[in-house]
Structure 1
Amino acid sequence: MYRVVICEDDDLQRKKLKELIYKSFEAISNNIEILEFKSGEELLEQCLEGIDIFFLDIQMDKLTGMDVAKIIRDKNLTTEIIFITSVVEFIQEGYKVRAYRYLLKPIKYEELKEHIISCVSDIIKKRENFMIVEGKGTINKILINSIAYIEVQKKNITIHTVDNIYYARNSISNLEKELKMYNFFRCHRCYLINMEYIEFICKNVVTVNSEDIPVSKHRVSDLKTKLTKVVGSIIC
């Protein structure tokens, strides 16, 4: 089952988008539920657990799609957000809420289908990708996408997820190799960060999930280059 939300204040645009989403999913799954909302206020009144993709119109009265996205991100860090817009000036803000894509109006079927297929593929990866972490007398199964960063202090590994902390018996070098394909970056000899949780970079400090983490001087340029590729794959 895939659960999709459309929040669009224009009735005709919302109806057309719904039709195109159903059509795009024909090549993926018939098991899809689409929930429709005319405003951000109406959407936020609902309990929206287990939503896979939010399609949010940016330019709405009162609460904009960007406002709604920020509230969604406070509650859910793994759902995908696709913005619908007539302008491109919000891309930088979209990065802050880790938007998956921007779709420019009028929506084109082939473009929408391409983005949905890519998005669903990433959703499947997130559902399946766990790592087993062995600590002192404990074994934990951790969703890789939930890991914000990993640090090592005096050979002690601490894994910081978005809602928990785990201690592991491993080396940061081994974890770096294991997580490289999932957009993790060794920004410092003591830190391995998930680039999808980067909020800000300033000189030799990177903010990841509201935590300031040092970046080695010789790794700053490489981090910015790789981050650009990751951001491009998410919102371009």
Structure 2
Amino acid sequence: MLEVVCCDDEKEMRKALIRLIEPEFQLLGVDYQLSEFASGEELLSSNRLETVDLLFLDIEMKNLDGIETAKQLRKVNQHAVIIFITAFADFVFQGYEVQALNYLLKPYSKEKILEVLHKALEELERTQPKYFLIEQKSGSTRVALKDICYFMSDRRLLTVITTQGSYAFYGKLSELELPECFLRIHNRYIVNLNYVEQVESASLSCNQAQLPISRKYRQSLMVHFAKTLLG
């Protein structure tokens, strides 16, 4: 779920922004939760700092302004996309030191808001961690793809080995939807190339585990492993 925050000390401006962005989230099918704050102090004292993904932040607020609020937020949250709101274009350049993505000028232009919103969603899609969902009888477990070393199959039982431990679930290797860094090396194994340390004639080392390589998959493995080494 996308955590969206609007922080502006002018209630009417908050409502005007929300009236424009909420229909677009709904049109795009984005699963989101939206929170409002009337000051930088209120935002900083909330439990949203570490989880906020997208922040619309007014610069000219009483007491604690938007720039200082953003500096405090960045101490605990580096991934949030910040969009500054301002009535004065002169303030925009201050956003660089807190890695602000863009800005909106008051009074709002619907076209500009939607343009900036789409850029923010693209940036979040590019930078947000991706996850693999494991379905078990006890419930669902979400594992970050970057932490997965390899998958192992024993008939219908699959085991995913991660840097944090392992999880077993039912499925088929051929039915897993995975990014390009995951490669089939054997009827029983799919590896994350980012964890492959060494490739030999009939096996490879993946996160210190020695896994077999089938002749069928060896040529493809060597090509992709070389690309990984070259960056």
State TM-score, norm by structure 2: 0.57
**Partner of 2:4 in structure 1?**
4
Q: Please tell me the residue identity of whatever aligns with 1:67.
A: E
Map of 1:104 onto structure 2: 105
User: 1:39: how far off?
Assistant: 0.4
Distance 1:77 1:107 in 2: 27
- SS class of match (1:51): coil
Letter in 1 for 2:93: Q
Distance 2:90 2:206 in 1: 48
Pairwise CA distance, 1:92: 2.7
- Is 1:19 equivalent to 2:19 in the alignment? yes
Question: What is the match of residue 28 of structure 2?
Answer: 28
Partner of 1:88: 89
- Amino acid paired to 2:104: L
Question: CA offsets per residue over residues 62-100 of structure 1, 9 Å max, x none?
Answer: 100111111111111111000000112223321111001
Cα distance between partner residues in 2 of 1:123 and 1:115: 12
In structure 1, the residue matched to 2:150 is none
Determine if contact 1:86/1:105 at 8 Å carries over to the other structure: yes
Q: Specify the alignment match of 2:52 in structure 1.
A: 51
CA contact (8 A) 1:24 1:109 kept: no
Q: CA RMSD in A?
A: 2.7
CA drift of 1:119 comes to 1.1
Which of 72-81 and 130-139 deviates more? 130-139
Preserved contact between residue 2 and residue 30 of structure 2 (Cα < 8 Å): no
Higher relative contact order, chain-length normalized (CA < 8 Å, sep 6+): 1
- Mark the structure with the bigger radius of gyration: 2
CA separation of 1:50 and 1:102: change in aligned 2, threshold 3 A = same
- Matched letter for residue 54 of structure 2: I
Q: 1:135 to 1:22 in 2, by over 3 A?
A: same
Tell me how many residue pairs correspond in the alignment. 147
2: CA distance between counterparts of 1:133 and 1:59?
Answer: 47
Check whether the contact 1:6–1:14 (CA below 8 A) recurs between aligned residues: yes
Structure 1, unpaired ranges of 5+: 141-169, 179-236
> Residue type of the partner of 1:34?
L
Moved more, 130-139 or 94-103: 130-139
Contact 1:24 1:112 (C-alpha < 8 Å) held by counterparts: no
> In the alignment, does 2:74 pair up with 1:73?
yes
- AA aligned opposite 1:43: L
Instruction: Provide structure 2 residue ranges, at least 5 long, that are not aligned to the other structure.
Output: 131-144, 147-180, 182-193, 199-204, 209-224
Note if 1:119 corresponds to 2:101. Answer: no
Identity score, percent:
34
Give the AA of the match of 2:102: R
Deviations 1:122-170 (A, max 9, x none): 2112234957255698749xxxxxxxxxxxxxxxxxxxxxxxxxxxxx9
**1:1-236 paired onto structure 2 within 5 Å:** 1-48=1-48, 49-127=50-128, 128=130, 132-133=194-195, 139=207, 178=231
Please give the per-residue CA displacement for 1:88-113, whole angstroms capped at 9, x wherever unaligned: 22233211110010100111112111
